Amino acid sequence: MLMCLGRFVFGINTLSYQQLQRQNNWRWAANNRVGQRPARQYVGQGDDVITLSGWIAPELAGDATSIGQLRVQADQGLPQVLVDATGTVFGLWVMEGLTETGTLHRIDSRPRRLEFSLTIARVDDNLIDMVGMLTNARELLR
């Protein structure tokens, strides 16, 4: 296991990412001044975005259905807890984008190599209670 996003486990048998890129932003409000640079005031944290990218070769390692499993999880529209293999909890994250590229296609059109890129963004941890309530409500409606 490399990392878990909600119930999805990234690993050799599912999707093994080769690159993890994280970008943090901080927000600064700018007020224009005559003859000087704008004055800036810190107004809080901005986006925290992680992009996981890699490739799998379903005939050797990885599972081609894993990308579909991620799509199903994203379609639920709920923030997911992100945890790495050491047990570090990164908080709640939402899936913002998933790109899939198949190459080296077999005669039956299945790709021998699948490249993927998943973009997730952190949301406020105070949503944990709301996620629990939404999950319980959806279960009751089923």
Give counts: helices (H), strands (E), the chain.
2, 7
Q: Is 128 helix (H, G, I), strand (E, B) or coil?
A: helix
Cα separation, 93 vs 103, whole angstroms? 30
Q: Per-residue confidence of the chain (142 residues) as pLDDT tens digits? A: 889 999 999 888 888 888 999 999 999 999 999 999 999 999 999 999 999 998 878 777 777 888 889 999 999 999 999 998 888 888 999 999 999 988 888 888 888 888 899 999 999 877 555 555 455 545 554 5
Query: What CA–CA distances, in Å, run from 44 to 26, 33, 83?
Result: 6, 22, 24
Query: The tokens 């599972």 sit on which residue?
Result: 63
Q: In the prediction, which pLDDT does 128 show?
A: 58
**Domain ranges for the chain:** 3-29+39-141
Q: According to CATH, what is the number of the domain 3-29+39-141? A: 2.40.30
Q: How many CA atoms lie within 13 A of 115 on its CB side?
A: 4
Q: In the prediction, which pLDDT does 117 show?
A: 94
**What is the amino acid identity at position 129?**
D
